[in-house]
Structure formats: structure tokens, C-alpha cells
Amino acid sequence: MRIVRFRDGESIHWGVLQGEDVFHMPDAPFWAGGTKEYVGALDSVQLLAPVDPAKIVCVGMNYAKHITERDPNRKIPTEPVLFMKPQTALIGNGEAIRLAHPDHENHHEAELVVVIGRTARFVNEDDALDYVLGYTCGNDVSDRTLQAQDGQFVRAKGFDTYAPMGPVLQTDLDPSNLAISCTVNGETRQQSTTSTMIWSVPQLISFISGVMTLEPGDVIMTGTPEGVGPLNHGDTVAVSIEKIGTLENHVRFLHDETAIPLGPKGPGGGA
């Protein structure tokens, strides 16, 4: 099932995407079935990020080739490295990434995002996927200049708009070996599979739930593969994950209000 969030006037709703048609979810997003009211064609609704998390938990350094691509002497950590993004960093498909410091080195990071479906605390690895509602695409936008200056991740990755997610929330998905890629202006920058993660999705859920309680709707950004690179004003960045779709965002300066046409709305193709 593909779940979407969309705006209808001043109201925000959850829906199910069937083909190119959107239907209301009566008990969204943790829907158990039942009658669905037809909303309209996908291109007639304004899609939002398909998640509304209280917590955005992020994993750093979860792909070996990414760890060493900027520093060949960087060591692989012995445990997952965690940090968090604020909820205000969240944007959806088609929304603009606004660079707070366009003179800095700003990078894209394509990531598989896990969405928690029920309260998880001290979860066993073997049971971890039972706590997942679904998966979506994410982009961990990062200010490398501030990351190097601060020696930690929160400010560099926490600006408004620095957590694009979407376009849909895909349930009933095996996360263990999905193709993941990122293009900027049509040029492929990142291309890998989730099978090359150092810590798998079940391992991450088990580890993180031993640190903090994960509530329904919370998300885990699972790390990025090698190939990260610069984002600049006017770029179009697209993150694609197999069986989920493509998350596309334009990049602009924080205070630039020039309209940038986004093209048709929608989930796009799979990787």
C-alpha cells in the first residue's frame, strides 16, 4: 500500500494512492481498512511529506564507502552513530530546499527512511520489522562547512528544509536490498543498494529502541552511500529508491523568492 499526505485548502489529510488516484484514509495513517472516499487524481492534489514525525532520528556513517570517501583514514564506528533533526527541517516532494549558507559546501545525502508503526522499546532484532509501518525516500541535506567547524552534526543538518522526505510511504516492503540513487540536474551522483549498509534496518531499530522509545510516526534516516556532492542554487536533486519512487526537490537560496517551476507532482518512477 502507498500512503500519501496532502493538503486540501487549509486542511491536511492522509490518503491511499491506487494507481494515479487518491482516496481518503479514515483512520490514517495507521489504517486497518474500510471504506475509502475518492479524493481525485494524483496530479490534482498538493502532496506533502508522507510522514508527520515527533522524532527524526538519523544514523551517520552507515555505508563503508561513504565513511572513507572524504577521509581515507576515517574509521568505521563500532556502534551506530546517532543524531537528530528537528521536525521543522521536514519538507515534502516538490518543495524547495533553501540553503541557509549558500557560500558553504552543502551536500545531498540519499537515504532510506524507516517509519515506525507502533511503540518500540528494547526491541529484539528478530522482531524489529514488526514495528515498521513503511518506508520512504529521504535526503539528509548537510552543511559540510559547519559540520567540520562544529565537530558534530546537529546545526549542519538541522536547518529548515534540510530533511526532504517522500513522495509516498510504501508498506509491505523488504528493506534489505533496495537500489538507492541520487541525481543532481539529471547527473547520477549516488548509486548503491541498501544491502551495503553496515547496520541493517532491524539492527538499527533494535539499537535505537534501546536508547529511546520510538513512537508511531517517528522516522529513522538510515544513512547514505558514497557519492555525496554539492548542492547549489537552481539545482534539481532527486532521490530514488526501488519500489518506493522518486523524491524531487529544487534548491534555492534561503531568501530568494523567485518561482522555480517544479513540473508535474507525483511519486515519479522507481530506482
Question: Which tens digits make up the pLDDT trace of 182-194?
Answer: 999 999 999 999 9
Distance CA 266, CA 250 (A): 15
Q: What is the mean pLDDT of residues 100-121?
A: 97
Domain definitions of the chain by residue range = 1-48, 49-253
Please, are residues 15 and 5 in contact by the beta-carbon 8 Å criterion?
Answer: yes
CATH class in words for 1-48: mainly beta
The whole model's pTM is what?
0.92
Quote the pLDDT of residue 269: 39
Distance CA 41, CA 43 (A): 6
Distance CA 114, CA 50 (A): 12
What's the residue count for the chain?
Answer: 271
Quote the pLDDT of residue 258: 61
Identify the architecture of domain 49-253 in CATH: Alpha-Beta Complex (3.90)
What is the widest separation between alpha-carbon atoms in the chain?
A: 57
Highest mean pLDDT among 25-29, 33-37, 75-79, 266-270: 75-79
Distance CA 199, CA 207 (A): 10
pLDDT category of residue 268 using cuts at 50, 70 and 90: very low
DSSP state of 182: E
Quote the pLDDT of residue 34: 66
In tens, the pLDDT along 222-241 reads 999 999 999 999 999 999 99
Quote the pLDDT of residue 144: 96
